[in-house]
């Protein structure tokens, strides 16, 4: 069966990557993870990819003279591996409009809040959950959206809500948002977009 080829961009532990890998053949059928790229050679996500038999590559931003060189190296890998869809799963580098405009509706990101709450510049990792608790919201969650030139500004694909408990800490909330929302909607959204890519190819 023909499948959309997916590249996952990672920077750290790769828990969202693992959720995607685990979903292959169940939730994720129209796409397959063909490449994992990290900006960090020490990212545990690379081990997860290798354990699953997925090709890996490292593009260090520090080793590049400019943002353009960094992005061009990533683009070259995507082209070389005939990638149809890019998933940002804890990728801690902002990509410029020059890069994102090359792949309209072909880059997905998962964000740990219900956009438009607690998103945009500076809202990443634990900062998002700290802000949600500080504000006193009773419900948070996660969003998968297309990536454009505005941080967290692209069209929303899927969202899932998670209730906040009275005794939540940023750490406990982060863990629950991952387990109850991110790890469910990221594979589901990846499948939706992969299926639409295959349909476009048939037209």
Half-sphere exposure of 198 (CA within 13 A, CB side): 16
Rounded CA separation 63/41 (Å): 11
Q: Which of 89, 122, 92 is nearest to 18 (CA)?
A: 89
Q: Which of 133, 198, 202, 139 is nearest to 171 (CA)?
A: 133
In the numeric block, the tokens 């990221």 are attached to 186
Report the Cα–Cα distance between both ends of the chain, in Å, rounded. Answer: 17
Whether the Cβ atoms of residue 173 and residue 140 lie closer than 8 Å to each other: yes
Give the strand order in the sheet containing 107-111: 55-58, 31-38, 4-10, 85-88, 107-111, 139-146, 156-163
Just list the catalytic residues. Answer: 111
């Amino acid at each position: 069966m023909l499948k959309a080829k997916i590249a996952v961009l990672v920077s750290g532990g790769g828990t969202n990557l693992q959720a995607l890998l685990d979903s292959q053949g169940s939730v994720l059928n129209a796409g397959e993870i063909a490449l994992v790229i990290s900006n960090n050679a020490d990212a545990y996500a690379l081990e997860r990819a290798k354990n699953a038999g997925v090709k890996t590559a490292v593009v260090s931003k520090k080793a590049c003279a400019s943002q353009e060189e960094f992005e061009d190296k990533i683009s070259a890998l995507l082209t070389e591996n005939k990638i149809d869809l890019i998933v940002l799963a804890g990728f801690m580098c902002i990509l410029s409009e020059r890069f994102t405009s090359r792949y309209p509706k072909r880059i997905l990101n998962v964000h740990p809040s219900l956009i438009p709450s607690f998103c945009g510049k500076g809202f990443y990792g634990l900062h998002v959950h700290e802000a949600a608790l500080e504000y006193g919201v009773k419900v948070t969650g996660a969003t998968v959206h297309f990536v454009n030139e505005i941080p967290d500004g692209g069209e929303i694909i899927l969202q899932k809500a998670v209730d906040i408990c009275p005794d939540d800490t940023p750490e406990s909330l982060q863990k629950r948002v991952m387990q109850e929302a991110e790890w469910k909607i990221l594979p589901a959204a990846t499948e939706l977009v992969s299926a639409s890519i295959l349909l476009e190819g048939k037209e």
